[in-house]
Structure 1
Amino acid sequence: ANDRNVRFNEMEYHLPVEEGIKALGEVRDTIEKHFSEAFFPIECRFIKGEEAWLSPFYQRDSISIAVHRYFEEDYQPMFKAIEPIFRKYGGRPHWGKLNTFSREEFKKSYPKWNDFIELRRSFDPESKFLNTYLKDTIA
């Protein structure tokens, strides 16, 4: 962890390793062509696959790519232009960052989705522990 002294909006997707470099090139090209004024760096890292059911890294090694916009700038045009690239290459969004995945898209992207939903309901049948976002995606 490091200190973040500047506020920003962030979108981060995790892509299969074999697709990550191609996606990164398209993201870079899109930013350079259409959003050259953006001054935040792109973050890119490798993550080893794991077994947590709702991890974006479930059973696959991944390349994580994050894009940012300063909090006072309208992030939506840039994120709207870049998110289709992430989706095209099989990206899974970071749960805590901006994305437009629907419940059905999460279900298609996470092989253990239905198992998790069933388990979650058994522990919280009245959905007391869900916020609005989670009610829209996993309830």
Structure 2
Amino acid sequence: MIHRYRLISEHHGVYGVARLCRVLAVKRRQGCYEWRAAEIRGIHGEHRGSYGSPRLTDELRRLGRRINRKRVERIMRQRGIVGIAGRRRRPLTMPDGAAAPAPDLVGRDFTAQAPGQRLVGDITYLPAGEG
């Protein structure tokens, strides 16, 4: 039975779901849509629940399925499938507004006559004893 649903899923754009169900003697046309929902649930599970409707649609299209993003959204909404939103990123360093800026000893001129004359760098990422 699964092979029939897969065949319907692959060729429904050309022949239509109703005609394929009739030819393949599938009694319930709803079974085809349940197959598609199971396929969406499987892909969603493979990616640990992180895929939402746009990524799921792209993945289904890569597999050769012709499906619209809105249909994927509707199937996900009906089945309670929700993609996990990524965590918000926190900035690693917060500038101190009261601190005086570091003096510009080079004067924004980074050219040198020979190697080793002007050494510049940024050490703000190094942890200090103060916190």
| TM-score range for the pair, normalised by the shorter chain length | under 0.3
TM-score (norm 1): 0.25
TM-score (norm 2): 0.26
Indicate the structure whose relative CO is greater, using CA pairs within 8 Å and at least 6 residues apart. 1
| Larger strand proportion of the pair | 1
| Larger helix proportion of the pair | 2
